[in-house]
Amino acid sequence: MVFGRWTTLPAKFSFAAVLIAASAGAICATAEKACDKPVYLTFDTGHMGVAPLIADVLNRQRVKVTFFGAHERTQEGDGSLGEHWAPWWKARAAEGHAFASHTFDHVYWRGDVSGSPGQFRVKPSAGPDDDKEFTWTSAQYCEEIRRSNQRLQAMTGQVPLPLFRAPGGKTSPALLAAAKSCGYAHVGWAPAGFLGDELPSERASNAQLLAQSLRTIRSGDILMAHLGIWSRKDPWAPAVLEPLIVGLKERGFCFRTLREHPDYTAWISAHPQ
């Protein structure tokens, strides 16, 4: 093909189109090369007071994350999955973020019921049964995971991932097996991925948490923070979030959602919701 002879190009092409295609290929190759060190930033719900600021940082830094949703008490509005926050969730879906369940009423696993396979002691920390303890079957726990995903889908118009995160990361092999039986794989976090936003400010300053994360995070790590923590006096987000993202980028890391995590891609493909 000789560029000086336009008759050698198919009618539907132009020289500009060829240049655009070549540039796009170069950009894709650069992006793939830049993602040799992926990390997977995730957020669990919380009081939502810092949620708009977190969204601003993610947009500014062009970072996509995975949100785990529970219907928790909030500083304003009718709960983190309520109508007040529904536009916020819808906007995040439009930006390309991913979503998964954190159980609807932020239900903690407290223990397996001895002698009763498939039954668990649980304790919600939100909702009408806040702070009450119950014995649930596997089916009840699965429904609790599903309730959150149904609400997330109703708000975002996007099907959530077939994943969940147990509040506090507290589980047992029996609980994980029960969740998998109804189509949900559990997602924890890496040791270095505990970003420390739940710790007391007096014991772990934002500067200390930032330095520790930048020092210890490794490629492939799942990172975990919250959309607001009631007990922390000096909020972690957004003070630490943006310098953490910038610092990790400078160290060659890139950010991906759990859709692309190698431990979950096959599970996600095999378990459409």
pLDDT, tens digit, 9 for 90 and up, residues 33-83: 558 999 999 999 999 999 999 999 999 999 999 999 999 999 999 999 999
Instruction: Give the closest residue to 90 by CA, choosing from 165, 153, 163.
Output: 153
Q: 137 and 176 in contact (C-beta within 8 Å)?
A: no
pLDDT tens for 192-226 read: 999 999 999 999 999 999 999 999 999 999 999 99
pLDDT the model gives residue 35? 83
Cα distances (Å, whole numbers) of residue 98 to 28, 72, 90? 22, 19, 11
- The DSSP symbol for 108 reads E
Grouping H, G, I as helix, E, B as strand and the rest as coil, residue 155 is helix
DSSP bridge pairs for 42:
66, 224
Q: Which two tokens stand for residue 74?
A: 């909030």
Q: 42 and 66 in contact (C-beta within 8 Å)?
A: yes
| AA identity, residue 220 | G
Alpha helices, H only, 129-205: 138-156, 173-181
Grouping H, G, I as helix, E, B as strand and the rest as coil, residue 152 is helix
Mean pLDDT computed over 226-230: 97
Rounded distance between C-alpha atoms, residue 161 and residue 264, angstroms: 10
The DSSP bridge pattern shows strands 163-164 and 185-186 to be parallel
Q: Which two tokens stand for residue 76?
A: 């304003």
